Amino acid sequence: HVGWSRKQLPDNQPNWVDTRTVYIGNKEPPPGAEAYIPQRYPDNRIISSKYTFWNFVPKNLFEQFRRIANFYFLIIFLVQLIIDTPTSPITSGLPLFFVITVTAIKQGYEDWLRHKADNAINQCPVHEVQHGNVIRKQSRKLRVGDVVLIKEDETFPCDLILLSTSREDGTCFVTTASLDGESSHKVTLHSD
């Protein structure tokens, strides 16, 4: 079971969570349980992208002008616009515009690839056990307390607790290459 019990503190301090209890497979604690369970957990979506459609231009420009070279050439361009200088503002503005545009296109393309990879992972099928039945769903739709059935050589979300295995010795071999780059098998023991 899962939930949180509370420790009483003086009135001027918020309640302190000192233990956590999880109710596996249930969305609510059993009747009469003195536990606090938040009703909303974050979903299981993976988001590794930096930008959205709406924040790409301002965020990208902010990141690019944090670079000292780009900021320096922006200041030079603005000075040439404001003050009458012997050189044209185009001589510093055009190269700056070119560098900013090419970098924005490159970063936009890389972020689009991250969005595609995130969608592929978030739509990866997993098998959830509900009331004894195995239901296939997308990994992004998993919730805290869901029981997931994993078969050999399947990919699964990394934030799982191993409850049991099909091996008699209770071991499970997990490869975490997509997380830390190590291709060796890690031995995991199920909880009793």
User: Angle at Cα 114 formed by Cα 108 and Cα 118, nearest 5°?
Assistant: 145
What is the model's pLDDT at position 54? 95
* Helical (H) or strand (E) element with 169: none
Task: Confirm if 190 and 163 have CB atoms less than 8 A apart.
Answer: yes
Running DSSP on this structure, what letter comes out for residue 148? E
Chain centroid to CA 49: 9
What is the model's pLDDT at position 19? 61
Residues paired with residue 20 on neighbouring β-strands, in sequence order: 4
Nearby residues of 164 by Cβ (< 8 Å), 6 or more positions away? 170, 190
Where are the domains positioned within the chain? 1-40, 56-122
In this predicted model, what pLDDT tens digit does every residue of 47-95 receive, in sequence order? 999 999 999 999 999 999 999 999 999 999 999 988 888 888 888 899 9
What is the model's pLDDT at position 110? 97
